[in-house]
A and B are shown apart, each in its own frame.
Chain A
Amino acid sequence: MTHKMRQPTWLNVVSGSNHRLSRRELLCRAGMGLGAIALSDLGGGNRSTVHAASGLNPLAARHPHFPARAKRVIHIFLNGGVSHVDTFDPKPDLSRRDGELLPSLNLVTERLTGTAMASPFKFRSYGESGIQVSDLFSHIGQHIDDVCVIRSMVADVPNHEPSLMLMNCGVANVVRPSFGSWLTYGLGSENENLPGFIAMSPGGHPVKGSQNWQAAFLPSVYQGTYIDTSKKTVEELLDNIQNPHLDSSSQRTQLDFVQQLNANFTASVAGDAGLEARIQSYEQAFRMQTAASEAFDLSREPEYIHRAYGSTPQARQILIARRLAERGVRFIQLWHGAWQPWDNHDKIEENHRKLAGECSQAIGALLADLKQRGLLETTLVVIGGEFGRTPTVEVDNSGKKSKLGRDHNHYGFSTLVAGGGIRGGHVHGATDEFGFRAVQDRVHVHDLHATLLHLLGFDHTRLTYRYAGRDFRLTDVHGQVVHDLIA
């Protein structure tokens, strides 16, 4: 608790004297770091167990419980539910039984399904590990030795909304903070000129909208900042990032005048940490105008990078994610698109092919790019949906007509994790012979959360927040760290 100082260190400097502060003095003070200022009134008596999470600047960088392998997360959310048997979990038995009833009962999913449906996609072995990936994600295949494929993921119900909540907030049916909010709460931000948690989706919100990145009872500053990446210019992407009338130097002159007023005011009130914090926050906001504009400006990337990632909206936001990761943003969540594009109840071959075409190349490029820049070691890249899909074909309500698609499947699905201390080139767990249910080394979503938090330096049972009389945590009362996933 070394950050928590009861005595604001600036108090003696200002208290009682009425002298004006020069800009230099102000900037120097800013350099002292806000973590040094004690908090008196953040929240209704909430106490965190995280070191100094109660600093007046809630985004100041903080240390986790123990030395971390990973410092940040990029979560590529294939929302709607990507089919595991068509991508990362090959099932030869499914091809052999194509069109036949499965020997055991079909598990109950949201809708009705019929006979086994072979995957229309070809699987190939990649890398030294020889892990099989379908041609939908051949670009990921090329980096599979850096990727851990969890083939035994399990969620609770076959419906989107609760499963999205489970994957993001660790619980299906009550309002709880999202993973990114927990992480930003726990670690703060490495770059105070950018939001700590950014969620991007081209063209609009996914199902459940902002609940996917909600802070819930955590201070709202930990909520994800949503950015619609179908927009391209910095001014469109970020609110209030530029002044329509003032250039930088006139703004600086104005701010100097404001800060003079503020210094006088602080001296007259003498003794509120918030006043001092706001003085420094102005300096930060001033810097942020440049820093954030720069971070989102893809025209600064060379041509070969653009070529490597591709030019779809998904590729663009994946490239932005790399720039944000470089600049220390903690949690970057990339949604494939509005609503639930991967929810292919029908015509899965056509639809999955189109969707993978929009992101596969860029994901591959991201893995390569992060690695080449030495960032992959400290960045967890998570790729997957809220659940997988049935190995059996979905039929209409008459039970007779095939829709050539697959229903939701929470009994077993795949999630990929790369970087940040994860064991690359490794397959963890397995589903049954058809891919319906995870049968070996099952990893519940809670376990995935516990493991990711572990790599980020947190004991998931100790990253808590007191609310309504109870210490809440991302994994509620569940979750086991899966050490087999860790390098």
Chain B
Amino acid sequence: MRGWYTGKAVTALFGRFQFHARQLTGLAAVLGIIACSDKAIEAQEVARSEYDFFERHVRPILIQRCEKCHAASTSEGSLRLDSRAGLIQGGDRGPGAIVGNPNGSLIMKALSYEDDDLAMPPEGKLSSDEIGYIAEWIASGAPWPTKLEAEAAAPSPMATSELSKPIAEHWAFRAVQPQPLPSVVDSAWPINEIDVFVLGNLEANRIEPSPDADPRTFARRLFLDLTGLPPTYEEVEQFVTELAASPVNEVVDRTVEKLLSRREYGERWGRHWLDVARYADTKGYVDGGQREYAFAYSFRDYVIRAFNEDLPFDQFILDQLSAAELRTATDEQWRLAGMGFLTVGRRFNHNPYDILDDQIDVISRGLQALTVSCARCHDHKYDPIPTADYYSLYGILASSFEPLQPDLPVLGAEPQSPEYRDYAHELRKRMVEYQAEFDKLHRQIESELREFATDYLVYIVKESSRHRGAGQNPLRTELVFLRGPSAYAAGAIRRWRKFIYERDASDPVFGLWHSMDPIEPAEFVEQLEKQLMSGAVHPVIAAAVVAQKPTTMIELAQCYGAVLERVDMQWQQHLHQQSNASGFDDVALESLRSVLYGADSPALLSKSEAVDCYHLDDSTRMRNKAGDIEKLTLEYKQDLPPRAMILRDGDLVAPMVFLRGEHTRLGAKVPRRLPQLFLGEAPREEFIDRSGRVELAQRIASADNPLTARVIVNRVWGWHFGRPLVATPSDFGLRSEPPSHPELLDYLATWFTEHGWSLKQLNRLIVTSRTFRQSSAAVTRQMQTDPENRLLWRFAPRRMELEAIRDSLLQAGGQLEIKSVKGAIGFSPEALGANCRTVYLAIDRQNLSNFARDFDFPTPDMTAPGREHTIVPQQQLFFLNSPLVMEQARIAAKAIAENSLGKRRIITTLFRQILSRDPTEQELVHAEEYCQTLEPQSWERLAHALLQANEFIYIR
């Protein structure tokens, strides 16, 4: 290996090169020098030979050993080594190389394999020759042929073109525009404004709308759409009868009014929202503690009630994000349960980072149709959402905490029974025990960080192979098992590491440390003496060094540790004598004390920071302890009033970027504030004295937010028609397809906010439109030009959702009871047969029932943009063989056969009961034929057959 160049030599070398202007600026910044040349020709020759060196020795290494992971397509750690600019700019860990200074260059550190955490390339260390070449190349200014560099450095076209698009131009980020009605030729067709937009579009495409659906079909559609239940035969016939007496629009209006006021409306439409809110009654997989939520159903009930009372949608949002702060009046108490929106998600085995990520996801995709979670690990690839904004939002949510169960607000009155009092007493007792344990552990961790300062400091030194000896377990010291990082906790080591490395050689206490850290072992003693002579060393540290005579960095760390531990003891004694002391008078002592007790001391922990230092065993123990509280509640849950699963503002978290989303790797500090994209052009406020969650809610629930109204209006449209206007309801980003009817979308969004954010009014507008009233029949010509029905030339038929299927089955068997249900009904397979609506069945996100899975229930592990409508044989096996279907068939047939006379009469009644209509003459004949072969079980078989019919599970 050839020797290092000194700084002076490098400066001289630079003077001889001709650099591209851009490089020059970069270099000048790095080196703090201005290099230029007036001997261009000579420089070119030199450059050529230097390029030869690069091409011969360096480039092959870069290509073979580095670019697999660090090039345009991959760029691990955000680092690219396929260009000079990439190398210099570096990645997550900072600049990759300081040109001219291999010693100070990160890449050399990585190649040296000194650091366990940063040893590159991962498949094996380079040879010492190879390392030498790279060092020499960096020392000589890292020359890299410009043309090649330019090619490699060209960013991928997608990345630039999409990002450079001005934010304001994208349809979804533009303010909602009031839309004039288009003119249409067939002015007789439209009933309301929706129809004008739809017809305008159809006419422009020379497609005719379909005729109105026949009244019976339409009645069925209306009932299923608004209540999730088919009409009874009598209800259908009443609709038809009324049509004979009144104008059709009047009859439809009347029927819609009736349906919107039914309890079943909220049960149907609330369930749509529960898909967005990824509602379930369990936490998913957890190791330790309880896996069931005792009170998730309070959120479900809140949503159903909000829909039935037509709570304005902006208020609905405010409840869900910040009811604990905003709904303090007694009559608003029920709205606290809305915060379940944030708390009923998966718990990711208690991993706080994943829980917060899920909250960010449900807020941003659910309410704003923005995929902010993409920015957890890297800047969003397409939308203007930088990682910094993700962590700004993270800071807002991380500054809230979930109160322990006994502190969750009880909804309604608490029972006065002695049993309840005993329960409440025991619950409180368990909570007090938990708190005591929690606080004790908190104090213990803080004191460990001081008492074992030596061990932490020595560990940090040993992280570098330059300083450490062999054969030791770095986490196990003689005294203590250091608090290292784990999958769920960042650990305490990083707190000390961060504290030290945020300081430099000018620090009054750790200055000496930083002066000595880069020194090679051979020169250690000599350098240490020089430093002591300089007089800049902290006097107490200097005295300890003189006394101990450390010869290695480890021994120096031991000196530091001993000093700090001694100061800690002194301070404890001082406090003993003078309990109100706030510090030492002695400046030198005080500067040491503040390392352990100052505002930025690594040993000063907030509650959440203490949790972040738990050992695995601590986590398990505390989790089980918290689980004991919840266990008691689960045992008594049938008799308990519901509680609202709220969050409250807690310790204010100063967020830092997690590099690549890894909580153990801290990046830059970011302010706690809203993502810019949530605000449009408006300036951003940093939240200093509060979390910012209320402001977040208010910003989303604002009429001038370009996304909120568009997003919900689009979802609602999709829930009616099976296909939303924007095909990706949870992603309105730059890569989403534009709306099929942009003017209609904006018209509805405006209309919605102007009509008090009323979902009932919006639903009324849609279902009374002519568009919604069209027949579902396919027309050959239209099927050829627009098979997907994007232009809305018909009402596209679709299979019902599983809730409507099961509810219809129970209704056909006469078993369904419309009633409010306390709690969530059962996790067992038998619960499927319970006589309540499907929305009240418990959802175990870890073990979704086969029924739910087979019928496309969306995974409740994340917010669902919509539902699939697949057709798979398991569904048909359910209809062929399942106990639920067979049982409803049996009950329906039994009741009817007992009360009816004559075959034809019985067949007709079964048709009415199950399909809400009379059989055709032909069907009657076929049914008779079928039944003849089957006595005496025939009615049950016939009922079963009717339940299997396509007609039974289609909305058309």
Interface residues of A (CB under 8 A from B): 6-8, 11-12, 15, 38, 40-45, 56-59, 101-108, 110-114, 154, 157, 159, 161-162, 173-175, 192-193, 195, 205, 207-211, 214-217, 219-221, 223, 239-246, 250-251, 253-255, 257-258, 260-262, 264-266, 268-272, 274-275, 277-279, 281-282, 284-286, 288-289, 397, 399, 439-442, 468-470, 477-478, 480
Contact = CB atoms under 8 A, between A and B. Distances in A.
Interface in B102-146: 116, 122-124
Given A103-B471, A173-B357, A270-B778, 17 more contacts: A11-B778, A42-B869, A104-B470, A159-B486, A161-B349, A161-B487, A221-B868, A240-B878, A253-B933, A271-B776, A271-B777, A284-B876, A285-B874, A397-B481, A468-B728, A468-B730, A470-B381
Given A221-B870, A271-B783, A469-B733, A279 B950 contact: yes
Given A105-B474, A271-B778, A468 B859 contact: no
12 contacts: A45-B728, A110-B616, A193-B873, A217-B862, A254-B941, A260-B926, A265-B949, A279-B950, A288-B873, A289-B880, A442-B122, A478-B74
Contacts of A8: 783
A264 B484 contact: no
B944 interface: yes
Nearest to A40: B788
A8 B788 CA distance: 12
Contact of B930 (A239, A253, A266): A253
Given A110-B486, A159-B486, A219-B868, A40 B68 contact: no
A57 to B, nearest CB: 7
A39 B857 CA distance: 20
Given A253-B930, A278-B871, A105 B382 contact: no
B780 A11 contact: yes
A42 B871 CA distance: 10
Contacts of B374: 468-470
B735 A470 contact: yes
B856 A219 contact: yes
B886 A106 contact: no
Nearest to B783: A271
B871 A162 contact: no
Contacts of B922: 264
Interface string B913-939: 000000010110011001001100100
Interface in B471-522: 471-476, 481, 484-487
Q: Is the interface of A mostly helix, strand, loop or mixed?
A: loop
Interface string B363-386: 001000001011000000111000
Given A44-B866, A288-B877, A173 B354 contact: yes
A111 B473 CA distance: 11
A105 B123 contact: no
B896 to A, nearest CB: 18
A40 B789 contact: yes
A277 B871 contact: yes
B724 A44 contact: yes
B951 A265 contact: yes
Contacts of A56: 870-871
B588 interface: no
B780 A216 contact: no
Contacts of A254: 930, 941, 944-945, 948
Interface stretch (B44-52, B528-536, B842-850): B842-850
Nearest to B862: A175
B475 A108 contact: yes
A41 B788 contact: yes
B547 interface: no
A349 B731 CA distance: 53
Q: Is the interface of B mostly helix, strand, loop or mixed?
A: loop
A269 B956 contact: yes
Contacts of A285: 873-877, 880
Contacts of A12: 780
Interface in B850-900: 850, 853, 856-859, 861-862, 865-866, 868-878, 880-883, 886
A281 B728 contact: no
A244 B886 contact: yes
Contact of B950 (A15, A241, A253, A265): A265
A214 B354 CA distance: 18
Nearest to B788: A40
A440 B68 CA distance: 16
Contacts of B783: 7-8, 11, 271
A261 B951 contact: yes
A244 B941 contact: no
A111 B872 contact: no
Contacts of A271: 776-779, 783
Nearest to B617: A397
A274 B285 CA distance: 36
B238 interface: no
A15 B780 contact: yes
Contact of A262 (B287, B723, B950): B950
Given A105-B474, A223-B853, A174 B486 contact: no
Given A41-B722, A44-B727, A159-B486, A59 B930 contact: no
B15 interface: no
A469 B371 contact: yes
A153 to B, nearest CB: 13
Closest 10 CB pairs of A and B: A271-B778, A45-B727, A285-B876, A285-B873, A44-B866, A101-B471, A469-B731, A159-B487, A240-B881, A277-B871
B799 interface: yes
Interface string B684-697: 00000000000000
B737 A45 contact: yes
A342 B137 CA distance: 50
A178 to B, nearest CB: 12
Contacts of B406: none
Contacts of B661: 173
Nearest to A398: B481
Interface in B48-83: 68, 73-74
Contacts of A265: 949-951, 954
A205 B844 CA distance: 14
A105 B470 contact: yes
B787 interface: yes
A373 B191 CA distance: 68
A374 to B, nearest CB: 29
Most chain A CB neighbours (cut-off 10 Å) among B734, B861, B933: B861
B468 interface: yes
Nearest to A56: B871
Interface string B613-630: 000110000000000000
B177 interface: no
B706 interface: no
A262 B735 contact: no
A189 to B, nearest CB: 10
A469 B736 contact: yes
Given A239-B877, A470-B381, A112 B944 contact: no
A40 B848 CA distance: 27
B784 interface: yes
Contacts of B718: 44
